[in-house]
Chain A
Amino acid sequence: MIEQDIPFWIAVPASVLLIMAGLLGLTGSVGLLRLNNFYRRIHAPTLGNTLGVACLLIASMLVNSYLASRPIVHEVLITLLLFTTSPVTAMLLMRAAVFRERTGKKS
């Protein structure tokens, strides 16, 4: 657990961002479970992938920068990695789905 006392102006934005990140990730997974077609389902988790992770990383940067009392921007690396790799995965999966549907593979 965090030992130090976090001041008001760090704790409130970080809490709001954390709650938003959790709700966005949950929304993406609910959409993944509930939508009824692969082409609809592929849209849902991208919400959690981009906006949820971005909120979480900003919250993490705020709290860790206060605790270390110097700016910590390591988390930008994860943002860059996810923002460059997640479209690649989505595009490959989409092409695989179109190819498999066209050639009539059912499973």
Chain B
Amino acid sequence: MTTLLIGSAYFAMLCCVAGMGLASVRLWRGPTAQDRVLALDAVYINGMMVVLIAGVLFGTILYFDIALLIALFGFVGSTALAKFLLRGEVIEP
């Protein structure tokens, strides 16, 4: 039964890496700036999922902290970029 779990974990990891690739294509092509920010957010989420699947695969909870940090940085980056697009500066006086 461990083989089934490892196989499905590899499948999910492959799917998430493919999703990162597709989002990177959108990041490269995106016609407008907000498309690029959205694609960057999708890349962050998919990368966090890859790290979490690695945590399942290796059977440790060490990867959980890395995933939490990636989610946090993704939120801060996307929000700062969206605020910049909206107002022209990130932190207003």
Chain A interface residues (CB < 8 Å from chain B) = 1-8, 10-12, 14-16, 18-19, 21-23, 25-26, 28-30, 32-33, 38, 41-42, 45, 48-49, 52-53, 56-57, 59-60, 63-64, 67-68, 72, 74-75, 77-78, 81-82, 85-86, 88-89, 92-93, 95-97, 99-100, 106-107
Contact between B19 and A29 (Cβ–Cβ < 8 Å)? yes
> What is the CB-to-nearest-CB distance from B93 to chain A, in angstroms, rounded to a whole number?
19
Contact between B34 and A97 (Cβ–Cβ < 8 Å)? yes
By the criterion of a CB under 8 Å from any partner CB, how many residues of chain B are at the interface? Answer: 54
* Chain B residues touching A, majority SS: helix
How many A-B pairs have beta carbons closer than 8 Å: the answer is 189
> What is the CB-to-nearest-CB distance from A66 to chain B, in angstroms, rounded to a whole number?
9
Contact between A29 and B5 (Cβ–Cβ < 8 Å)? no
Question: Can you spell out 23 A-B residue pairs with CB atoms less than 8 angstroms apart?
Answer: A2-B5, A4-B59, A5-B2, A6-B5, A15-B7, A22-B12, A26-B18, A29-B22, A33-B23, A48-B49, A52-B49, A53-B48, A60-B56, A63-B5, A63-B59, A64-B56, A64-B59, A81-B68, A85-B71, A89-B75, A92-B86, A96-B85, A107-B33
